[in-house]
Structure 1
């Protein structure tokens, strides 16, 4: 880091410690940790923690000392403004945290006057963050980098037509006003370049997610446990019922069990912090899999990384309707250097990352028959110790430090333009 840090970026991010339950927190947190290595001082404009539905304090210590953090007023409409459990949709457009806009815009203007940042940066998936970025850009004239990560809108997403219309308006305004629009998967870059052909190809940028190696270094690898014991497979993180629908996987497991190819003594599967626990529990009861598949609650980030390191194998679920998205956990899986079974479309971006890393244990998420065969083969290869791991070159390329360098270069280009 240089002796004098004169460049500053105002980072507008809903997900920031102490929020819990979203991988999005790691993106902003890691950028704020690594930008100072490139002489950029981050100023994070987040929301008051009262707005978070779930909170944990375990990552507050990971906020770098060079990071200035301001937490502006904001409420969760569903929890703070509802009467009898009901609230007007107008109070939740574009999302339940739209009141954050009321606190963040004046707070952002004060931060701009005090610290004189050279560039604004806002990050989705909370649409209000881009609304704040758009407003501050209009009021300050500062160049703006809009970190979309994934697509804001699809033909049928968000499912509510009014919400989708509002999202599309914010998306179009952001694309029109931003200097750069950043995505985490190449398919999303292509989608937006086609959707907004009036923008130059220089508008679009790819900065993937990654793993934070400094935190991995703090997590001890567990001691090896001798066989015989059940193989332990782990899926870490949210399983969206539509985008990561596990029903075909559960059907495959049930079919293998009926055929005598799978028992609770041979394999144990953990879904950690999956969300929709009641729904998934019902699916497991209907298939008689409760003793093989366990739905487990949230644990701290470091505990989750330790669980990955202790697993015999790691599971990825990603449906074909998300071919232009890549789960953030995938990069942490790569760094964990555990065998990976990916249930995803072989033509999607998730499969592309895995193949680039030398991993071919991939099967489509929507075919119970293909999954059953792939799962059997994966288990046999685990038992034999013949499942290939990720290439060291791809692991090194996927670090958050590397992604921070990419963002710093993009910010330099932005102020240069």
Structure 2
């Protein structure tokens, strides 16, 4: 089979850190194994809220990487408040009741003036550059990955101008994503978002999504083919694992205000009162960006003495914490809009051999995955007693030195297997 060239248009790429970069970094790593030459188009001067210099080592030496400058409004906004700009650009939106005037203004500008997002100024120069490159290099397939959904507008124009096959990859939904309602959208802006979403979904040749719920939502908007290819886990170098001596409950990733799980804090507080030695063993490990509201709530429940707030660490360090911690926490916002969200870290959690405690809305897509793989227990926000009982059970297993998860059927979520599914999709469009 001849090697097929594809152009991948993505915003997040090393040295970007966080979950957004992992999906296409890993697809690009394995695509050459399936007779596909990846050509990756990225911004030359992006504003990444999280940086992980170590990820540069994971870029495939078989990938061709193209770069063009981008105008970033976040660079200008950071003149007024670098910290607030960084948090908003990374998706940490302050509680509406506690927002400052500057935060409210920044959110209004973000939602109403930059549609679909602040990277919209990259669309025209990218189309101009890529149109020429595609023709000269005889490329017939392009993939856009969002968010930021502005990148789908690049695909939209290129599809209209050239005879290319276009795959639009949605790592997250567009107008139904949880933070969309926080952007203080006017009716005009809301309608424009929906109109652009409709055009993208009905112009792309194939839509790729990461969950069944997103597929169902998009199916109501378009009749175009929709494929579900989840995120996954990669094979990490095995090192000797020394488990934490404490009964550590670790949350890895952004801990947003809306993800603040009161039932967890209540359960831990009650267990501290009911079990004499629990206070000598408990540790709360928070790794990644944490909203002030979450930290305030932890203090309100008098749990700060058990808190180990490590902040952002490199991806390799995060993987080490996943393997060393006693229990892994996975928290999603209690909202119908977040049922479709399957956090990327779930898949790395699943191969860590540590049990997962997951809290989220009813009928969450990730609840099904946790159950079918036997990697943890899922709780709705109303199931405090069930949660408390499980923590107590895990604690007793910890005391006996028997706390572990026993996952089944994990291999289908490996990055290489998922890339194989993607490659079949790409080759089927030849």
Cα distance, 1:378–1:323 mapped onto 2, change above 3 Å: farther
Q: Provide the residue aligned with 2:31 in structure 1.
A: 35
Deviates more, 1:315-324 or 1:136-145: 315-324
Q: Provide the residue aligned with 1:122 in structure 2.
A: 144
Query: 2:223 aligned with 1:199, yes or no?
Result: yes
Tell me the distance in 1 between the aligned counterparts of 2:53 and 2:126. Answer: 23
Tell me the distance in 1 between the aligned counterparts of 2:140 and 2:406. Answer: 39
Residue 170 (structure 1) shift: 2.2
Deviates more, 1:110-119 or 1:299-308: 110-119
Query: 2:244 aligned with 1:257, yes or no?
Result: no
Query: 2:12 aligned with 1:19, yes or no?
Result: no
Q: Give the SS at the match of 2:176.
A: coil
Q: Give the SS at the match of 1:233.
A: strand
Cα distance, 1:304–1:84 mapped onto 2, change above 3 Å: closer
Q: Give the SS at the match of 2:54.
A: coil
Tell me the distance in 2 between the aligned counterparts of 1:92 and 1:55. Answer: 24
Structure 1 residues not aligned, in runs of 5+:
none
Query: 2:315 aligned with 1:301, yes or no?
Result: yes
Of 251, 261, 283, 1:235 maps to: 251
Query: 2:200 aligned with 1:184, yes or no?
Result: no
Contact 1:183 1:189 in 2 (8 A): yes
Tell me the distance in 2 between the aligned counterparts of 1:331 and 1:165. Answer: 35
Residue 106 (structure 1) shift: 1.9
Contact 1:51 1:75 in 2 (8 A): no
Tell me the distance in 2 between the aligned counterparts of 1:120 and 1:69. Answer: 14
Of 83, 94, 111, 2:133 maps to: 111
Alignment coverage as a number of residue pairs: 398
Q: Provide the residue aligned with 2:299 in structure 1.
A: 285
Deviates more, 1:279-288 or 1:157-166: 157-166
Of 375, 378, 397, 2:412 maps to: 397
Tell me the distance in 2 between the aligned counterparts of 1:383 and 1:169. Answer: 56
Tell me the distance in 2 between the aligned counterparts of 1:129 and 1:97. Answer: 8
What is the TM-score of this pair, normalised by structure 1? 0.88
Contact 1:319 1:366 in 2 (8 A): no
Q: Provide the residue aligned with 1:57 in structure 2.
A: 53
Q: Provide the residue aligned with 1:140 in structure 2.
A: 162
Cα distance, 1:341–1:224 mapped onto 2, change above 3 Å: closer
Could you give the per-residue CA deviations for residues 93-138 of structure 1, whole angstroms, max 9, x where no partner exists?
2212222223322222233123222211011121111111112211
Residue 373 (structure 1) shift: 2.7
Tell me the distance in 2 between the aligned counterparts of 1:155 and 1:231. Answer: 34
Residue 366 (structure 1) shift: 4.8
Of 393, 406, 412, 1:377 maps to: 393
Q: Give the SS at the match of 1:92.
A: coil
Q: Provide the residue aligned with 2:100 in structure 1.
A: none
Query: 2:67 aligned with 1:71, yes or no?
Result: yes
Residue 387 (structure 1) shift: 5.1
Residue 254 (structure 1) shift: 2.4
Tell me the distance in 1 between the aligned counterparts of 2:196 and 2:370. Answer: 33
Query: 2:175 aligned with 1:161, yes or no?
Result: no
Cα distance, 1:151–1:338 mapped onto 2, change above 3 Å: same
Structure 2 residues not aligned, in runs of 5+:
82-104
Cα distance, 1:269–1:70 mapped onto 2, change above 3 Å: same
Tell me the distance in 1 between the aligned counterparts of 2:322 and 2:73. Answer: 35
Tell me the distance in 1 between the aligned counterparts of 2:246 and 2:287. Answer: 18
Tell me the distance in 2 between the aligned counterparts of 1:18 and 1:224. Answer: 30
Tell me the distance in 2 between the aligned counterparts of 1:111 and 1:389. Answer: 49
Residue 409 (structure 1) shift: 0.7
